[in-house]
Structure 1
Amino acid sequence: MMEPRNRVVQVSLFGDPERLEVVDAPLPTASRGELRVRVLASSLNYTEVLIRRHLYPQTMGLRPPFVMGYDVVGAIDQIGEGVHDFQIGDRVADMTVVGSNADYRTLRANDVARVPEGVDAAEAATLILSWTTAYQLLHRAARVQRGQRVLVHGAAGAVGQALLVLGRLAGIELWGTARGEHMALVREIGATPIDYKHEDFTWVLPGGFDVIVDGVGEDGYRRSYAALKPGGLLCAIGFSASLQAQRRMLPIVMEIARLYLWRLLPGGKRARFYSVNAMRARHPTWFKEDLERLFGLLATGAIRPRIAARISFDEVADAHRRLETGGLEGKLVLCPDLSSRHNQRAA
């Protein structure tokens, strides 16, 4: 019997999407404490644009070639020694940062979350980074309370949409900044939309917001900090405005450092930089608990993530271009089986 093919999306050099290539790689083998999965879905995130451009702090030590893929939902097809409580065919998920844009990959059995039967693998994949980030921002970092007033920047993005949906379930009052063409989407999800190009969010709520989640970082987060009420909390989760302006890494790091200095100013306002990976490193059980809770909400229909497109291996480079352009109202998800179907039709 022929060994299964293992296609992977590889970064040949840091830079443009053209540096991505689909190549055949050796089939991995599950070592002690590991599972091998056949990849069912791996979502594409804006974070991977940063990884490809060598701007993501956690992967600065990596050198090409390496395989892309921040998250994975897969079906177990091989179980390593010392692994119990799993069976061939069980579906599991993990946040891997790299290595999951592939047909097959190995995972540490202790790290994976279980995926309920019956949920769509692509929808499950969209929850791993964006929705877990949103859940932890609300319930682990900000510890929001029913009735609080929360502003979400980039509300039409993947994390932004998740924050609005989960925030509505938590009973908080929501505002969201977005492009003009996305106002209807933000309103549909349940927030008061703010057109960031034509409205000044700092004057929307005279008393100030209880919590602001800022993944844009425009003007070094200053305006977001100013829009907090006394005692309010700014959760910074990114700096896409600086990256789109092609700024270097040092000024971005200085902006993050300034967040912590602001806490020394009078007025009792707070600021912190949230990283899902740092949170997972400090509290590894939280990540699995929170992700499995989200899978439960997906299984019952309480949440329904938006998918912009399910793509094949051949479409990954174009998907990265779409991520850089922005404006997507849902996630792009690599589905290896979809690529096989495309090839079969071509044949």
Structure 2
Amino acid sequence: MNTEELVEVVLPGTVEPEGLQIRHGAVPAAGPGQVVIRMEATGVSFAEQQMRRGRYFDQPPFPFVPGYDLVGTVQAMGGGVEPDLAGTRVAAMVKVGGWASHVLVDAADVVPVPGGVEAADAETLVVNGITAWQMLHRKARIRAGQTILVHGANGGVGSVLVQLAHAAGVNVIGTASARHHQAMRERGVTPIDYRTEDVAARVRELAPGGVDAVFDHVGGRGIVDSWSVLAPGGTLVSYGSASTRDDEGSKQWPVLKILGRVWTWNVLPNRRRAYFYNVWAGRALARNRFRARMRADLTQVFAALQRGDVTAQIAAQLPLTRVADALRLAESGTVSGKIVLNP
């Protein structure tokens, strides 16, 4: 007899981290084409920081269970699922729902985790790894010998970006607060303190001809500087609006402003390109193609981890029931890498 119960974290509204609720219930049953994953590791991403403020662009209505991605073992399967999945460790990107002991997922959306890779290590590379890989190789299409600028080079996505870039033979300039600079130098990144330095002026000193790509999760007025430091033929990849996390008003407006700038820059006669990257782009219209691309790219990231090109950047590990502490720590801006939640 199965005595397990579901434990999940509920975000009831725009609350402080202590307002998150722990809810108990029955473990979900797998329907046709579905699997139940017994969570071994999930994480705190910037998306959850925005969601608790009601600031994430397309978050569901309150209340809901946050959790952008997870790694765990397939515990139960519905009809039509390949039997080989039973008992295997898999990763899944779900946008919401990952902060739970058991998560119901379409079998087509899971990616096997290679043998020997720990759950927490793999967790740091699911949404962060897919995002970094696709921006580098599908959007900017970087090449060996090029130079790029990574904003937030110490963060979850940023730390993966710089490692994948180095593996591809690319020079990296990165922004972060001064406390992170020594660790960045050890990874071969030329650091810039965005708090005390004129970032655009410093980038022009380091790369007088401009950089070949900029990866900007900050948004706001600074995105104009990101565009200005591009070399001819360079690419700006915007993938967020972190600077507006604590703003009031419409959560859509900051993203719409970025989209407007991107459209304007691309229609003007110039030799540079701009993109607003959304990891979910194309899912609604071409789900099978989206799934194939996600599986291929995460497989590449896991292979990079096994080769040692990428190391898992774990800032801390906490139990799911201490999610408030985990979220507080993530929002403090004092850590490098990802905060992982375990059952």
TM-score in same-fold range (> 0.5): yes
Is the 8 Å Cα contact of residues 163 and 309 (structure 2) preserved in structure 1? no
Change in Cα spacing, 1:87 to 1:202, as seen in structure 2 (3 Å) is closer
Alignment partner, residue 180 of structure 2: 182
**Distance in 2 between the 1:219 and 1:273 partners?**
15
**Distance in 2 between the 1:221 and 1:80 partners?**
46
**Distance in 1 between the 2:258 and 2:82 partners?**
46
SS of 2:62 mapped into structure 1: coil
User: Any residues of structure 2 matched to 1:27-42 within 5 Å, and which?
Assistant: 27-42=27-42
Q: 1:49 Cα shift?
A: 1.2
Q: Residue by residue, what CA displacement relative to the aligned partner does 1:266-298 show, whole Å, maximum 9, x if unpaired?
A: 332221100111155554111111111212222
What amino acid does structure 1 have at the position aligned with 2:313? R
Alignment partner, residue 94 of structure 1: 92
**Distance in 2 between the 1:161 and 1:101 partners?**
23
1:225 to 227, 230, 241: 227
**Distance in 2 between the 1:167 and 1:280 partners?**
26
2:325 to 318, 331, 334: 318
Q: TM-score, normalised by structure 2?
A: 0.92
**Distance in 1 between the 2:10 and 2:175 partners?**
35
**Distance in 2 between the 1:304 and 1:208 partners?**
29
User: Any residues of structure 2 matched to 1:3-152 within 5 Å, and which?
Assistant: 3-59=3-59, 62-152=60-150
Q: State the Cα RMSD in Å.
A: 1.7
Alignment partner, residue 339 of structure 1: none
> Greater CA deviation, 300-309 or 38-47?
300-309
The aligned length equals 334
What amino acid does structure 1 have at the position aligned with 2:191? P
SS of 2:70 mapped into structure 1: strand
2:262 to 247, 259, 262: 259
> Greater CA deviation, 262-271 or 137-146?
262-271
Q: 1:248 Cα shift?
A: 3.9
Is the 8 Å Cα contact of residues 57 and 252 (structure 2) preserved in structure 1? no
**Distance in 2 between the 1:68 and 1:137 partners?**
24
Q: 1:134 Cα shift?
A: 0.6
What amino acid does structure 1 have at the position aligned with 2:118? D
**Distance in 1 between the 2:142 and 2:213 partners?**
8
Change in Cα spacing, 1:255 to 1:84, as seen in structure 2 (3 Å) is closer
What amino acid does structure 2 have at the position aligned with 1:92? V
Q: Which runs of 5+ in 2 are unaligned?
A: none
**Distance in 2 between the 1:145 and 1:182 partners?**
27
Within the alignment, does 1:234 sit opposite 2:236 as a pair? yes
**Distance in 2 between the 1:260 and 1:138 partners?**
20
Q: Which runs of 5+ in 1 are unaligned?
A: 337-347
Q: 1:26 Cα shift?
A: 2.0
Q: 1:212 Cα shift?
A: 0.6
User: Any residues of structure 2 matched to 1:148-187 within 5 Å, and which?
Assistant: 148-187=146-185
Is the 8 Å Cα contact of residues 53 and 246 (structure 2) preserved in structure 1? no
Q: 1:245 Cα shift?
A: 4.5
Q: 1:220 Cα shift?
A: 4.7
What amino acid does structure 1 have at the position aligned with 2:39? V
Q: 1:218 Cα shift?
A: 4.1
Structure 1 consecutive aligned stretches of length 4 or more whose deviation exceeds 6 Å: none
Indicate the percent of aligned positions where both proteins have the same amino acid: 39
SS of 2:304 mapped into structure 1: helix
Alignment partner, residue 207 of structure 1: 209
SS of 1:176 mapped into structure 2: strand
What amino acid does structure 2 have at the position aligned with 1:157? G
Is the 8 Å Cα contact of residues 28 and 106 (structure 1) preserved in structure 2? yes
SS of 2:37 mapped into structure 1: strand
Alignment partner, residue 340 of structure 1: none
**Distance in 2 between the 1:249 and 1:36 partners?**
32
Within the alignment, does 1:334 sit opposite 2:341 as a pair? yes
Q: 1:103 Cα shift?
A: 1.0
